[in-house]
Amino acid sequence: MLLEKYIDHTNLKPTATGSDIKKLCEEAKIHGFYAICVNGCHVSLAKESLDKTDIKIAAVIGFPLGAMSSKAKVFEAVDCIGNGADEIDMVINLGWLKSGMYNAVRDEIKAIKEAIGNKILKVIIETCYLTDEEKEKACNLAVAAHADYVKTSTGFGTEGATFEDVKLMKRTVGENAKIKASGGVKDKKTALHYIELGVSRIGTSSGPSLIK
């Protein structure tokens, strides 16, 4: 098991500069990370920086609140794919979920998945704001909408990934979707335990120190 092949090396800071993104890409190349994860405005630069490598580019959509219109999220996803993104990490509409507007949540995920075709879609459910029942519901809606992954967190909420949340997500989705643990994964021991629990991808800004 190569830990680096589980890592989405991430910089989603609003203050990230072009130099920061180039550094992120260089670190991904040095350590052989599976992917990088950036805001949409940096996708073109990342594509240029990672030219002639097999490192994937993930772009976040509706980030970090998930509260913009579905039409805006779909446009943003398509735009990022057009600029070179291989994967989309979208934030669900938490207010809709908490209002019981389950069809709206599912339809939004489905619309984005259909818009990006065979590209990977990860659905961020932002577990820190949800009850266990809501977490299960969000995971089931993502599966119903044919998402490829469910993801714990943006890293910008009140808490990131937890072992208990990953266990709950794994119980809920089974083999119907993969799981990405993200937010607060800062050491190798924690990362390896998430993999033991069944995650297929780890989102972290601490990739180089995890490998060392």
The CATH number covering residue 93 comes to 3.20.20.70
Beta strands per DSSP E along the chain: 7-11, 35-39, 56-61, 87-91, 120-124, 149-151, 178-182, 201-204
Is 89 assigned a catalytic role? yes
Domain assignment present for residue 128? The answer is yes
> Is 8 assigned a catalytic role?
no
pTM of the model: 0.97
Asked if residue 157 is part of any domain, the answer here is yes
Q: Is 149 inside a domain boundary? A: yes
Catalytic residue among 110, 119, 135, 151: 151
115 inside domain: yes
Quote the domain boundaries for residue 199. 57-211
Of these residues, 8, 56, 86, 89, which one is catalytic? 89
**Residue 137 lies inside a defined structural domain of this protein:** yes
Say what the pLDDT of residue 142 is.
98
Give CA separation, 183 vs 8, 124, 204, in Å: 11, 11, 7
- In this predicted structure, the answer to whether residue 200 has a pLDDT above a threshold of 80 is yes
pLDDT per residue as tens digits for the range 72-123: 999 999 999 999 999 999 999 999 999 999 999 999 999 999 999 999 999 9
Tens digits of residue pLDDT in 19-40: 999 999 999 999 999 999 999 9
* 172 falls within a domain: yes
The answer to whether 151 is a known catalytic residue is yes
Would you say residue 194 lies in a domain? yes
116-151 confidence digits (pLDDT tens) = 999 999 999 999 999 999 999 999 999 999 999 999
Cα-Cα-Cα-Cα dihedral of 197, 200, 206, 211, to 10°? Answer: 90
Query: Is 109 within the bounds of a domain?
Result: yes
Domain count, the chain: 1
Instruction: Out of 110, 113, 135, 180, pick the active-site residue.
Output: 180
